[in-house]
Structure 1
Amino acid sequence: MKKIACIVALVFSLLSGAQSHDKKNNTQKMTTIPTQKAVVYQVFTRLFGNKNTTNKPWGTIEENGVGKFNDFTDKALQEIKDLGVSHIWYTGVPHHAVIRDYTQYGISNDDPEVVKGRAGSPYAVKDYYNVNPDLAVNPANRLQEFEDLIARTHKAGLKLIIDIVPNHVARKYEGKNNPEGVRDFGADDDVTVEYHKDNNFYYIPNTRFELPEGITPLNGEVNPLIDGKFEEFPAKWTGNGSRLPKPDKNDWYETVKVNYGIRPDGTKDFAELPAGFDTKSCQEHFDFWKDKEVPSSWKKFRAIAEYWLAKGVDGFRYDMAEMVPYEFWSYMNSAIKVQRPDAFLLAEVYNPKEYRNYIRLGKMDYLYDKVELYDKLKEIVQGRSQTDPITDIQKGLADIEHHMLHFLDNHDEQRLASPEFAGSAEKGKPLMVVSATISTSPTMIYFGQEVGEAGNENGGFGTHSRTSIFDYVGVPNHQRWMNGGKFDGGQLSSSEKSLRDFYKRVLNFTLKSSALMGEFQEIHGLNRYATEGYYPEVYSFVRWSYTEKLIVISNFSSVHTSHFELKIPEDVIQKWYLKDGKYTIVDQLYQKSSLTLEVVNGQGKVQIAIEPLESFIYQLK
């Protein structure tokens, strides 16, 4: 039945989806893409509903407050949907290590010396089969409260994803909620050896773990659990790969590395995919692993994914996926896809040389486009680069552009509006238009981005310019939109309301535009050196489908107004089947600008006046 389901899904996607040729490599391979762009709204679940504005550094829940699953009301979810969102990523849902006494609920205390911040890192998961008790009104009922949120999310017409962190787990992992037959991580490990294929962890035999030098748990606060030691014998490798029994304070000392069958010398202790499997289907990958013996950790993480899919989760964001071999991802993701062909699988990968392995062999749907487009847009808005390299980035990723998720803000990065990034939310506008419209890939925004959150708060352990993921804090701009739980923007300033309106217009347009799931061609190069008044801070390109033709122009300058005659090259005019004559083009963001595109001798031209930080998405009528 699974094979039939996969074939049916493939036929349906071929009939309903657009197809993009690998033009860069001139191959015959095809990539099936959806007919509608996806928009992901990342929300740090702990912070979303927090109404407390105290923001005391290192503050407790009682002092600084915390958001709950129940804060995502029907109204809140509908507002997120109406913003122009298709998927919501609830960050920090699985039960991670926290510094709070929940022993009355059968949860052991966590040692503050191996927990970062007071609220704990969401990437030090303590129990994969339950959820963070901080997020529940009644911690004893926490899983049911999350299941209710899943139902409300689907009712609002949204799909949801949660985190899986395959590379590491909390130093004190305790699976107290494992389903019947599921053995805990490390329960069957041979701790007398550094490595065994079916050990879940790597060990430093006969050696005790020691805390790093220079850490100050809870900012020096007196706590009965702080005694200068953490009992772990034998010591395990640390999450980032440190093999020292006493890791450095900059290591991921709160976590331990998971073993996927990679020997300490780097060789692989499992079957490798045969040549040519980069073109094989999910079903063929699934079939390949059926008769293969795989390491214990592979089975455990696949069981975790299937557990959450059965509860209604629609996909996963995989933390630091490139630290785990792509053969495991082939095994894991193909199993997911034959059950749920529409599952949304997003991976954090930062090495461009490995992108295609994790997409084609690892069967990932989407990877972060961080070190290419994100980093370049950041350089441009900071005045450290002109716009020209955007074209080379798009050309270099042409064969996988649909798989490279675009974002300008997330929990790991500096806030877009922070002084350390764009310097203001207004300066982020042209970045957002280019990021959201230049490819067929999904767009992601981080909660508060749409109202100009700048991450100015000092939560304690967290760093300035990033909204802390380690502390109990409030998010001021977002709280003004939340308006005490009304979720109506009632406390927003006029500029914040205008900014949210801008995001709403951009995102909703991307959801509906067929051209944005069609063809791309830059026209920047032609205009950059042949058009008077076309400043280096301007960038332009065209997008089109059979039914929609778009011209996108953005001005990254916060100073210069540009006046120029934009040229549309002859090959674009031919692809658009335009004859000599005059055509009306109308801006789709605000519908207040209508211009005339004139085609003469097969070439197009249109007079453009674009203000600082302004963008236009002109549609041919």
Structure 2
Amino acid sequence: MLKKSAVALSTIVLFSTLSCEQKNMKAKTDTVSETNSEHKIVVYQVFTRLFGNTNTTNKPWGTIEENGVGKFNDFTDKALQEIKELGVTHIWYTGVPHHAVVRDYTKYGISNDDPDVVKGRAGSPYAVKDYYNVNPDLAVDPAKRLEEFVALIERTHKNGLKLVIDIVPNHIARRYEGKTNPKGVKDFGADDDKTVEYKRNNNFYYIPNSKFEVPTDANYKPLGGEKHPLADGKFEEIPAKWTGNGSRLAKPDINDWYETVKINYGIKPDGTKDFPMLPDGYDKKDYKAHADFWKGKDVPDSWKKFKDITHYWIEKGVDGFRYDMAEMVPVEFWSYMNSSIKMKNPNAFLLAEVYNPAEYRNYIRLGKMDYLYDKVQMYDTLKNIVQGRGLPKHISGIQEDLKDIEHHMLHFLDNHDEQRLASPQFAGDAKKGMPLMVVSATISSSPTMIYFGQEVGEPGAIDAGFGKQSRTSIFDYVGVPHHQRWMNGGKFDGGQLSKEEKELRDFYKRLLNFTLKSSALMGDYEQIQDANLEAGLGYDFGLYSFVRWSEEEKLVIVTNFNQNTPVQCDVMIPADVVKKMNLKDGKYQLKDQLYGKSTTELIIENGVGKFVVKISPNESFIYKI
């Protein structure tokens, strides 16, 4: 979800679950790696509500009738095959669980949501209203919405793809109502003692003797000021609950996550823990040992509720989860839940949104996460480079710092939270994002993620209502123009794309498919940047070079981050790297694996390698030896 107020950041600190010993823990190798695979994983994140929408009206705050909406059924076999052939292994269907929306579905037994506590008209996918059902907007027949999603699960699998959905354990919608709960499942808060701020088995934190007040702001009105019977500046909640980002005010700030309420995991208001702790050494144990540890343990009620939710969806055929704001939930809970998921499906894909590098190893090793966002290091560095605020050489330090966990750090350049790669606020041009994408996809063995429309240069320029341009809206009904041109009225053949857009998608297809097949990208890495900058051979500061290798394949990757300057220079592979790659003196042909047009000769003499590269602005070569 969109981030982050000062309250949210202070809450992360309050709810930190790590000892000093754990924070300092950094082994030379990742002693417990349960997510290794033979080839790269590529995730295609798609905002489910927007994918199949062919409407181009794009009226700010527009209704479904005005702006249209995509459906589960829009993911046809043809669409899924095209996604797979792009070079994708997993689809993250964003916004599937039923969240609060400003639309009347009362004839389906769903209560109306109050615009005063809904962001946008279509609502935030991170204000979940019912975890045992799906967003009725996404169904052709809302009465059969769950059946339509189960059919999409089956269709996705039939087309050779795995699928991931969101789980948001930190917070839920202010009006949570489970209308289709399995037998015996009670709603969040159903058994809470509301007279106290905290009780271990309460699902929420309360502000006794208070009532919730809707935040106010002179520059914001729900639905853009449109009249609505429930948009009266009031929402009944007595007593008031803590807000999702940790605000303890009965009237949260307009910048708080006021549409949500914080879940209690057994962390007392003073930050102390009210649940069993993992013994020392569990950072080195596998998920089976973690699952054994939690057997028979008395844990807070919220832990059980979310474990049951994930098991429900695993049984429906979902292959994994993306966890929103995972670091705001104690790591012990993740050990409890993730180990239980792995016991049901050892191959489940578990991805967490975590932004604090000091916590990475604990959420991987103790929390049993498979993958974390590499946002504040790799993503931010690449963004700085393309914006002229950093140099390519800064990439090397990141890879060194994350060397022991590099496989677990998912790489991306675009997602629903961030500014679009092609937007003026990021790269400004999809072509300028190409060298970033090559480095992001090839520098480590971690999964690569792209966001739908990224592959055709979508800039996120539409004003949809709530939120800001440069991001594709997650709060309103809107069309995605570049993506719609690829969709071509449901043909999914790129028939309306421009020549440049077709070329960009071809670049992504070539790159992603290469990463899926390359054994070297699952092997070793060494940067050769520093040696070349120090060698005085005319190597340009705008280049970045590194090598990847396995027993079967050896690669030299050179990227030109210069946006206007072509470069011709010598590139050296230092002796220590040549030795590690098990190369002997002699001459070797280098051929680019992206387009196959560039070749050059690597000469190794006295143990040192050297070749000449001639590279255009924003160009990259993946040379195979």
The amino acid across from 1:116 in the alignment is K
2:392 alignment counterpart: 387
2:130 alignment counterpart: 127
C-alpha distance in 1 between matches for 2:383 and 2:228: 42
Query: What does 1:65-76 correspond to in 2, within 5 Å?
Result: 65-76=68-79
2:88 alignment counterpart: 85
Tell me which moved more, 208-217 or 518-527.
208-217
Equivalent position SS for 2:354: coil
**TM-score for both structures, normalised by structure 1:** 0.95
Query: What does 1:560-579 correspond to in 2, within 5 Å?
Result: 560-579=565-584
C-alpha distance in 2 between matches for 1:55 and 1:363: 42
Question: Which of 153, 156, 168 is residue 153 of structure 1 equivalent to?
Answer: 156
Question: Which of 249, 252, 255 is residue 260 of structure 2 equivalent to?
Answer: 255
Contact 1:558–1:613 (8 Å) recurs in 2: yes
1:435 alignment counterpart: 440
Are residue 469 (structure 1) and residue 471 (structure 2) matched? no
Are residue 364 (structure 1) and residue 369 (structure 2) matched? yes
Q: CA deviation at 1:571?
A: 1.8
1:599 alignment counterpart: 604
Tell me which moved more, 475-484 or 29-38.
29-38
1:449 alignment counterpart: 454
2:563 alignment counterpart: 558
C-alpha distance in 2 between matches for 1:336 and 1:311: 13
1:361-391: per-residue Cα shift (whole Å, max 9, x none)?
Answer: 0000000000000000000000001111100
Q: CA deviation at 1:559?
A: 1.3
C-alpha distance in 1 between matches for 2:543 and 2:247: 45
1:116 alignment counterpart: 119
Question: Which of 29, 32, 41 is residue 31 of structure 2 equivalent to?
Answer: 29
Question: Which of 523, 533, 548 is residue 553 of structure 2 equivalent to?
Answer: 548
Tell me which moved more, 567-576 or 504-513.
567-576
Q: CA deviation at 1:556?
A: 0.6
Q: CA deviation at 1:25?
A: 4.0
Equivalent position SS for 2:33: strand
**TM-score for both structures, normalised by structure 2:** 0.95
Change (3 A) 1:26 1:217: closer
Equivalent position SS for 2:289: helix
Query: What does 1:57-456 correspond to in 2, within 5 Å?
Result: 57-214=60-217, 215-456=220-461
Q: CA deviation at 1:572?
A: 2.1
Change (3 A) 1:342 1:28: closer
Change (3 A) 1:24 1:317: closer
Contact 2:406–2:444 (8 Å) recurs in 1: yes
The amino acid across from 1:527 in the alignment is N
Instruction: Report how many residues are paired.
Output: 598
C-alpha distance in 1 between matches for 2:283 and 2:579: 35
Q: CA deviation at 1:339?
A: 1.4
The amino acid across from 2:151 in the alignment is D
Tell me which moved more, 496-505 or 597-606.
597-606
The amino acid across from 1:31 in the alignment is S
C-alpha distance in 2 between matches for 1:543 and 1:30: 23
Contact 1:209–1:234 (8 Å) recurs in 2: yes
The amino acid across from 2:85 in the alignment is D
Contact 1:24–1:395 (8 Å) recurs in 2: no
C-alpha distance in 2 between matches for 1:120 and 1:133: 12
C-alpha distance in 1 between matches for 2:96 and 2:153: 12
1:137-169: per-residue Cα shift (whole Å, max 9, x none)?
Answer: 000000000000001100110000000000000
Q: CA deviation at 1:24?
A: 7.8
Change (3 A) 1:498 1:184: same
Contact 1:580–1:598 (8 Å) recurs in 2: yes
The amino acid across from 1:544 in the alignment is W
C-alpha distance in 1 between matches for 2:32 and 2:339: 19
Contact 2:98–2:128 (8 Å) recurs in 1: yes
Change (3 A) 1:552 1:171: same
Q: CA deviation at 1:576?
A: 2.6
C-alpha distance in 2 between matches for 1:28 and 1:139: 46
1:243-279: per-residue Cα shift (whole Å, max 9, x none)?
Answer: 0001011100000000000000000000111111100
C-alpha distance in 1 between matches for 2:544 and 2:478: 38
Are residue 45 (structure 1) and residue 48 (structure 2) matched? yes
Q: CA deviation at 1:30?
A: 5.4
Contact 2:247–2:256 (8 Å) recurs in 1: yes
1:295-335: per-residue Cα shift (whole Å, max 9, x none)?
Answer: 00000000000000000000000000000000000000000
Q: CA deviation at 1:577?
A: 2.5
Q: CA deviation at 1:578?
A: 2.2
1:54 alignment counterpart: 57
The amino acid across from 1:46 in the alignment is R
C-alpha distance in 2 between matches for 1:34 and 1:438: 16
The amino acid across from 1:58 in the alignment is W
Q: CA deviation at 1:532?
A: 3.2
Query: What does 1:490-529 correspond to in 2, within 5 Å?
Result: 490-529=495-534
Contact 2:32–2:285 (8 Å) recurs in 1: no
C-alpha distance in 1 between matches for 2:127 and 2:468: 18
Contact 2:392–2:543 (8 Å) recurs in 1: yes
C-alpha distance in 1 between matches for 2:348 and 2:32: 20
Contact 1:451–1:478 (8 Å) recurs in 2: yes
Question: Which of 454, 464, 468 is residue 459 of structure 1 equivalent to?
Answer: 464
The amino acid across from 2:187 in the alignment is D
2:20 alignment counterpart: none
C-alpha distance in 2 between matches for 1:26 and 1:469: 40
C-alpha distance in 1 between matches for 2:30 and 2:168: 35
The amino acid across from 2:497 in the alignment is L
Q: CA deviation at 1:29?
A: 2.8
The amino acid across from 2:457 in the alignment is G
Q: CA deviation at 1:26?
A: 3.9
The amino acid across from 1:359 in the alignment is I
RMSD: 1.1
C-alpha distance in 2 between matches for 1:581 and 1:258: 63
Equivalent position SS for 1:596: strand
Change (3 A) 1:36 1:153: same
Equivalent position SS for 1:31: coil
Contact 1:49–1:67 (8 Å) recurs in 2: yes
The amino acid across from 2:483 in the alignment is H
- Structure 1 vs Structure 2: percent identity of aligned residues? 72
Contact 1:533–1:562 (8 Å) recurs in 2: no
1:464-521: per-residue Cα shift (whole Å, max 9, x none)?
Answer: 1000000100000000000000000000000000000000000000000000000000
The amino acid across from 1:127 in the alignment is D
1:72-107: per-residue Cα shift (whole Å, max 9, x none)?
Answer: 000000000000000000000000000000000000
